Amino acid sequence: MGPSVDLVPSSEHFPVEAEVVVIGGGIVGIATALALVKQGVKTVLLEKGTVAAEQSSRNWGWCRRTGRDIRELPLINASMRLWETLNETTGRETGFRRHGIIYATRTEAQRERHLRWIAQAKQYDIASQILSPSQLAERIPGLKANFAGALFTEADGRAEPQKAAPAMAMAAMEAGLNLQQHCAVRSIERSAGRVSHVVTEHGEIKCQSVVVAGGAWSRLLLQGCGVEIPQLKVLSTVLRTRPLEADVSSCVSLGSVALRKRLDGGWTVASSASSVVDITPDSLRFMRPFMPAFKVERASLKLRFGPRFIEEALYWRPGQADKLSIYERIRVLDPAPDRALLRQMIVDLKQVLPAFSGVQVAQSWAGLIDTLPDAIPVISGIDKIAGLFVATGFSGHGFGIAPAAGQLMADLVQGSTPIVDPAPFRFSRFTDGERVHAQHWL
């Protein structure tokens, strides 16, 4: 089971129309809805399960510029400015704090990469630095491992995934959002070449625009409209500990293990070196566009062939207006964590940080990360269907960037001046001949 998330009540009345329907109550859909209602746009958000029950509550909570794809830097800068004010503007605790992010460096080649990234990030006013081994030891007292130093960004931060999206959803409702949970969208309907309404399990909602912010489900939702997006899923395992005192204020990645202090006094711990990829029919379908990224990341990816292949081959179909859909069958994607990895994470943690020798695991979970071949999101309109927009494919780093990603999506829907240049995030990059590639800096 996933972590327990702050509860958000649904709106009382089921709507029959809206200017914009947002599909997906993860942090991206909620940030989009929040930005829209603040501009006075009549918005409905539909969530098949409950707010933030999938990736948006299961993540590490890092709000990171460090080592980010250069194309995303203007957006993450805008996002960090929004995070800074979110506690105040939502009137609630999102857990956002600036305590820095540290990536320990293992090899000389990695240090060279970090230096090249710093040089490029400077043009976006990002003041990251290389820490020497002794500076790293000062920042993480008791560290017991031989690192060649670290990449450090003091102005980076963290927030609480189990609180942030719910806080934003409550603020959006206060500003006029109609939020419906346990309300799966079965299909997005069109008339005369443009979006006309969505069909949900509880009835139809007329609208002028639809934003698909369905995380790992976006591919299927778009397939239902005849739009193909090359999206796959990666399973990542996380644990949270009981409260424990340790002098580590920044979010840190120490070789194979990554950790962050939580507001409840515990720690969110994960592996920064290993994830699982279940082979599915989509893995075969999208093997070609993903191959370059796979070749670079293969040491950290465990390929697995098992029941998920059959499950997806048999049941993962786009919804039909008049039939029970897969979105209703699977209210919350709740994959089992990788048990062997959980054991290894604890061994690694105790080894590098003896302060954790008495650590007690309170809970563990896994999440399915939705990813695209170039590991940056699509935040874009779909040219061939007027009124259809997509914000998805955040590829394992959408939590930190979500506040500004939602603002950008709202700007595009409204046709107002975008918060940053949206070109890198356009959907058409997969079809207009651009050489789509991922950047690997960490």
Ligand X SMILES: Cc1cc2nc3c(=O)[nH]c(=O)nc-3n(C[C@H](O)[C@H](O)[C@H](O)COP(=O)(O)OP(=O)(O)OC[C@H]3O[C@@H](n4cnc5c(N)ncnc54)[C@H](O)[C@@H]3O)c2cc1C
Identify residues 292-331 at the interface with ligand X (CB under 6 A). 327
Q: Is 95 in the site for ligand X (CB under 6 A)?
A: no
* Residue among 141 and 331 whose Cβ is closer to ligand X: 331
Closer to ligand X by CB, 148 or 331: give it: 331
Q: Does the protein bind ligand X through residue 61 (CB under 6 A)?
A: yes
Distance, in Å, from the CA atom of 10 to the CA atom of 181, rounded to the nearest integer, reads 6
149 interacts with ligand X by CB under 6 A: no
Q: Which stretch binds ligand X (CB under 6 A): 57-65, 105-113, 144-152, 418-426?
A: 57-65
Q: Is the Cβ–Cβ distance between 229 and 378 less than 8 Å?
A: yes
Token readout for 11 is: 């709106």
By C-alpha distance, which of 207, 125, 113, 196 is closest to 441? Answer: 113
Binding residue for ligand X, selected from 3, 6, 22, 62, defined by CB under 6 A: 62
Distance, CA of 134 to CA of 119 (rounded, Å):
23
Alpha-carbon distance of 52 to 24, in angstroms, equals: 9
Considering CB under 6 A, how many residues would be counted as binding ligand X?
Answer: 40
Stretch that binds ligand X, among 46-54, 130-138, 309-317, 415-423 (CB under 6 A): 46-54
Using the minimum distance from each CB to ligand X, give the nearer residue, 60 or 286.
Answer: 60
Distance, CA of 341 to CA of 302 (rounded, Å): 11
- Which residues, in sequence order, are bridge partners of residue 368? 235
Q: What radius of gyration do the chain's Cα atoms show?
A: 21
Q: How far is the CB of 166 from ligand X (least distance, A)?
A: 12
Q: Is there binding between residue 274 and ligand X (CB under 6 A)?
A: no
Least CB distance from residue 433 to ligand X, whole Å? 27
Tell me how far apart the alpha carbons of residues 15 and 235 are, in angstroms, rounded to a whole number: 35
Asked if 338 is part of the footprint of ligand X (rule: CB under 6 A), the reply reads no
Interacting span for ligand X (CB under 6 A) from 33-41, 42-50, 147-155, 352-360: 42-50
Residue closer to ligand X by CB (options 102, 216) is 216
Of residues 397, 413, 419, 420, which one binds ligand X by CB under 6 A? 397
Write out the H or E segment, with its range, that includes residue 275: strand 275-278
**For strand 101-104 and strand 97-98, is the pairing parallel, antiparallel, or unpaired?**
unpaired
Q: Which of these ranges, 23-31, 78-86, 92-100, 113-121, lies near ligand X under the rule CB under 6 A? A: 23-31
**Applying CB under 6 A, which part among 60-68, 116-124, 292-300, 356-364 lies near ligand X?**
60-68
- Which of 2, 335, 400, 403 binds ligand X (CB under 6 A)? It is 400
**Residue 238 lies near ligand X (rule: CB under 6 A):** yes
Q: Are 170 and 3 in contact (CB under 8 A)?
A: no
- Residue from 265, 256, 266, 276 nearest 345 by CA: 256
Query: In the set 2, 3, 6, 59, which binds ligand X (CB under 6 A)?
Result: 59
Is 54 a binder of ligand X (CB under 6 A)? yes
From 286, 394, 425, 441, residue interacting with ligand X (rule: CB under 6 A): 394
Which of 151, 146, 93, 41 lies closest to 406 in space, CA to CA?
41
As a whole number of angstroms, the distance between CA 330 and CA 216 comes to 12
Could you say whether residue 47 binds ligand X (CB under 6 A)?
yes
Q: Residues, the chain, total?
A: 442
Residue 309 · residue 232 · CB < 8 Å? no
67 touching ligand X, by CB under 6 A: no
Q: Which of residues 171-230 bind ligand X (CB under 6 A)?
A: 184-185, 213-217, 221
Q: Are 214 and 339 in contact (CB under 8 A)?
A: no
Q: How far apart are CA 90 and CA 139, in angstroms?
A: 32
- What sections of 249-301 are H helices per DSSP? 281-285, 287-297
CB of 300 to ligand X, least distance (A): 14
Q: Strands of 62-63's sheet, edge to edge?
A: 62-63, 157-158, 97-98
Instruction: Select from 369, 382, 410, 436 the one that contacts ligand X (CB under 6 A).
Output: 369
| Sole binder of ligand X in the list 3, 5, 35, 49 (CB under 6 A) | 49
Q: Which is nearer to ligand X, 94 or 392 (CB)?
A: 392
Q: Supply φ then ψ for residue 238, to 5 degrees.
A: -135, 150
The residue ranges that bind ligand X (CB under 6 A) are 23-29, 46-49, 53-56, 58-62, 184-185, 213-217, 221, 236, 238, 327, 367, 369, 392, 394, 396-400
